[in-house]
């Protein structure tokens, strides 16, 4: 009897592994299809020859002489469309994975990456940079990043001062920090020039990848890759943390140390993304739920699937944002219009699931 049960368990495990590999392969192919579609779609019709010319210059380490020989379309592809699509893919992967990490650390499926005030801090920092004189857009992004980091460390500092039921206090501290930075943002909006500064503040807070460049990729790509790599390597620790502090200690995992590591690293990934693109609504909340519906709550499979779905989701959303209307839409409008109905459907579909 025990042998037959063991054989049945092995068979089930094998079927699950095969199904997971098929899903992983299918999503990997979808990433390539979505990237090809995004690179090909736009107001400027860029042909395959122009794309190949742009890729050739990039692969051969472009110089002023080599770029001067490119056609305007090839140059636009190399300097504008390609970095924008890669930025959307990278940011989507990073924010989505951070959302899955937050939900496991806080053991709450309704937690999103801005729970500790990252988005509010980044928006305040960007707003400050937009109203200060002689601050370049790169300076705005730097201030946005430091604003997000300051918000997270403020929430952690408040939680450490209280130091009672750390997980719940962190969430409450995040609400406090978000309220403070939101109030400071409203103060900046109230004092901003209504003709020039205020519209810039509003549009930045709604999110956009229109200013994407290779300089952004130089900063975002290493941080996101390192963050995703650590999430994947420590996925077992993340599963243990989701069981609670008592169980984690019993299994030899230091919950305080790993919780701090996951929170700081995921907040850093989110802050880098939001600092470059502005706030992106629903991404870090909906995508982990969608991935959890596909492969279950275990982070061994959840993190890779979340990464792939997040990249596809933001890449397609940015493609719609820049092509749906004659003028470009803020990307948060697209992610909210797609994410909110999708989240409602996921809640209905998983209403009997134990992890909801």
pLDDT in tens, 14-68: 788 888 999 999 999 999 999 999 998 888 888 888 888 888 877 776 555 456 6
Give residue 299's pLDDT. 87
d(CA 251, CA 308): 30
d(CA 128, CA 143): 8
Residue 213: pLDDT band by 50, 70, 90 thresholds?
confident
Prediction pTM value: 0.89
d(CA 286, CA 250): 32
Instruction: Say which CATH topology domain 2-349 has.
Output: ABC transporter involved in vitamin B12 uptake, BtuC (1.10.3470)
Take residue 267 and report the two structure tokens written for it.
Answer: 């907040």
Residue 111: pLDDT band by 50, 70, 90 thresholds?
confident
Sign of the CA dihedral 271, 276, 279, 281? negative
User: How many C-beta atoms lie closer than 10 Å to residue 44's C-beta?
Assistant: 11
Give residue 352's pLDDT. 64
Average pLDDT over residues 8-12: 62
Q: For the chain, where are the alpha helices, taking DSSP H only?
A: 2-40, 48-59, 64-68, 72-76, 82-105, 118-131, 137-162, 166-191, 197-205, 214-233, 235-241, 245-250, 255-277, 283-295, 299-323, 331-349
Residue 83: pLDDT band by 50, 70, 90 thresholds?
very high
Give residue 29's pLDDT. 96
d(CA 108, CA 225): 25
Residue 334: pLDDT band by 50, 70, 90 thresholds?
very high
Take residue 204 and report the two structure tokens written for it.
Answer: 């930045």
Of 133 and 8, more confident: 133
Give residue 165's pLDDT. 66
User: Looking up tokens 């049960």, which residue turns up?
Assistant: 5
Which helix or strand (DSSP H or E) is residue 113 part of?
none
Taking only Cα atoms into account, the Rg of the chain, rounded to an integer number of angstroms, comes to 22
Give residue 246's pLDDT. 82
| Residues above pLDDT 90, as percent of the chain | 29
Of 214 and 69, more confident: 214
Give residue 6's pLDDT. 58
Segment of 124-133, 199-208, 219-228, 254-263 carrying the highest mean pLDDT: 219-228
Average pLDDT over residues 9-16: 71
Give residue 201's pLDDT. 83
pLDDT of residue 148 exceeding 70, the answer is: yes
CA distance from start to end of the chain: 34
Give residue 8's pLDDT. 53
User: How many C-beta atoms lie closer than 10 Å to residue 251's C-beta?
Assistant: 12
């Amino acid at each position: 009897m025990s042998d037959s049960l063991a054989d049945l368990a092995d068979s089930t495990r094998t079927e699950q592994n095969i199904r997971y590999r098929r899903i992983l392969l299918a999503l990997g192919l979808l990433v390539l299809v979505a990237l090809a579609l995004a690179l090909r779609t736009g107001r400027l019709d860029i042909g395959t020859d122009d794309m190949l010319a742009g890729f050739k210059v990039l692969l051969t380490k472009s110089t002023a002489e080599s770029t001067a020989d490119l056609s305007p379309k090839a140059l636009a592809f190399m300097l504008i469309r390609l970095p924008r699509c890669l930025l959307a893919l990278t940011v989507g992967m990073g924010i989505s994975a951070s959302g899955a990490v937050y939900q496991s650390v806080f053991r709450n499926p309704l937690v999103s990456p801005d729970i500790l005030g990252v988005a509010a801090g980044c928006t305040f920092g960007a707003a400050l940079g937009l109203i200060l004189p002689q601050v370049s857009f790169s300076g705005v992004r730097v201030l946005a990043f430091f604003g997000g980091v300051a918000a997270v460390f403020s929430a952690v500092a408040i939680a450490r001062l209280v130091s009672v039921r750390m997980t719940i206090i962190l969430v409450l501290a995040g609400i406090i920090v978000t309220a403070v930075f939101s109030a400071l943002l409203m103060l900046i909006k109230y004092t901003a020039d209504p003709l020039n500064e205020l519209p810039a503040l509003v549009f930045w807070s709604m999110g956009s990848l229109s200013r994407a460049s290779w300089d952004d990729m130089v900063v975002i790509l290493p941080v996101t890759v390192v963050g995703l790599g650590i999430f994947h390597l420590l996925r077992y620790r993340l599963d243990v943390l989701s069981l609670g502090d008592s169980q984690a200690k019993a299994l030899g995992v230091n919950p305080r140390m790993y919780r701090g590591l996951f929170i700081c690293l995921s907040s850093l990934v989110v802050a880098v993304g939001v600092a470059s693109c502005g706030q992106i609504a629903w991404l870090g909340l909906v995508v982990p739920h969608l991935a959890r519906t596909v492969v279950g709550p275990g982070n061994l499979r959840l993190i890779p699937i979340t990464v792939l779905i997040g990249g596809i989701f933001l890449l397609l959303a940015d493609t719609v944002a820049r092509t749906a209307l004659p003028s470009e839409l803020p990307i948060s409008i697209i992610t909210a219009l797609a994410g909110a109905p999708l989240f409602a459907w996921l809640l209905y579909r998983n209403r009997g699931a134990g992890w909801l």
